[in-house]
Amino acid sequence: MNRFKYQAYLEEFPFLKEIIGEETPDNVTIKRADENLLRLIPQYSYHDGSMGESRHSEKIHFILNDGTIIFDAVEQEGSESSFYAHSQSRSWEGETVLEAIDRHGVADRLQYIVQDVYNLDDWSGQEYDCSWRLVIYKTPKDTNFGAEITKAKAQALAEVKAEANF
């Protein structure tokens, strides 16, 4: 990543330093928060064996108006597995960004949402691939995630009532 642009990101978004520490991501982009982001469920996967490993980790951090950072704010959906004998595979469900906003009670105080994505593919005989990117989502002015939460709860209630009245 271009050093000057990287420094500009750190100056414009001081909270990035707390998220990334001393490391430098491969890419940083800025986008506007939208409904697709609110429906996103961050993913985690890990697979290993005697010849290498693969890892994908997607974390979501919330940055509030007062500068407070809620690290790993959204529960990841994920799976772990291995080629090793007698190893157990496991998987679990996650939550959407909107569900996490509601769980943390930050709908009216959320300024930025940061998507933190790390990928590693390190297998013998294949090309090594490791990347780390950050996407900073700005919340649009006068956006009220509370209204989106109310809408999602009403839709869920309607779906349950429709199931119950079949």
The encoded tokens of residue 8 equal 């500009």
- pLDDT of the residue at 113: 96
**Residue 97's pLDDT band (cuts 50, 70, 90):** very high
Measured distance CA(126)–CA(114) in Å, rounded: 31
Measured distance CA(133)–CA(6) in Å, rounded: 12
* The pLDDT of residue 121 is above 90: yes
Q: Do the strands 77-82 and 69-70 form a parallel or antiparallel pair, or are they unpaired?
A: unpaired
Render pLDDT for 43-56 as a digit per residue (tens, 0 to 9). Answer: 999 999 999 999 99
Is residue 97 within 8 A of residue 63, CB to CB? The reply is no
pTM given for the model: 0.88
- pLDDT of the residue at 141: 77
Query: 155 Cβ partners below 8 Å, 6+ apart?
Result: none
Is residue 74 within 8 A of residue 108, CB to CB? The reply is no
Query: 138 Cβ partners below 8 Å, 6+ apart?
Result: 30, 31, 32, 33, 111, 112
The encoded tokens of residue 3 equal 């050093």
- pLDDT of the residue at 44: 97
Is residue 48 within 8 A of residue 88, CB to CB? The reply is no
Mean pLDDT over 63-91 rounds to: 94
* The pLDDT of residue 144 is above 80: no
